[in-house]
Amino acid sequence: MASKKVGTLIKEARTEAGLTQEQLARRISGLSANDISLAERHQKNLTQEQLKQIAKITGVTQASLLNAAKGSSAKKTSGSKSSMQVTATERRLVELYREADTETRKDALKVLRGQDSLTEDILEGLLDSVQDMFSGK
């Protein structure tokens, strides 16, 4: 039987990342949406490698999921409702996300998921600026 804590953390991480069970399962080799569902309901144990992949995809620390799977308690972050550990950078990203308007949030998620060319546009703009500086414009 899977640990209740790890199942709860998987579900929290998945929903915070805006992913369905199907979307998450498609990104992890050897897991189906049913496997994710069973794990979230504490009826299936996932391997350490699968937990690491879930952590990477959902943006939580691997330690939070691995420690929960081992049964040890993860530290709560200051002011957090979740028991997942986050870095200072992750905390700042959450703060900025919460302060942003709806369109900015949507755009940020697209960039983070690699679904938007915004990153390419920014890099092209920087390259153009550098070229202009060297050409004397």
If DSSP codes are grouped into helix, strand and coil, which group holds residue 85? coil
* Most confident range, picked from 33-42, 46-55, 87-96: 33-42
pLDDT per position as a tens digit, 41-67? 999 999 989 998 998 898 888 888 878
Q: Taking the domains of the chain in order of start, what are their residue ranges?
A: 1-75
Q: What's the rounded Cα separation, in Å, for the pair 62 and 19? A: 18
Question: Is the predicted pLDDT of residue 121 greater than 60, yes or no?
Answer: yes
To the nearest 10°, report the CA torsion of 104, 26, 53, 3. 110
Q: 1-75 in CATH: which number?
A: 1.10.260.40
Residue type, 129: S
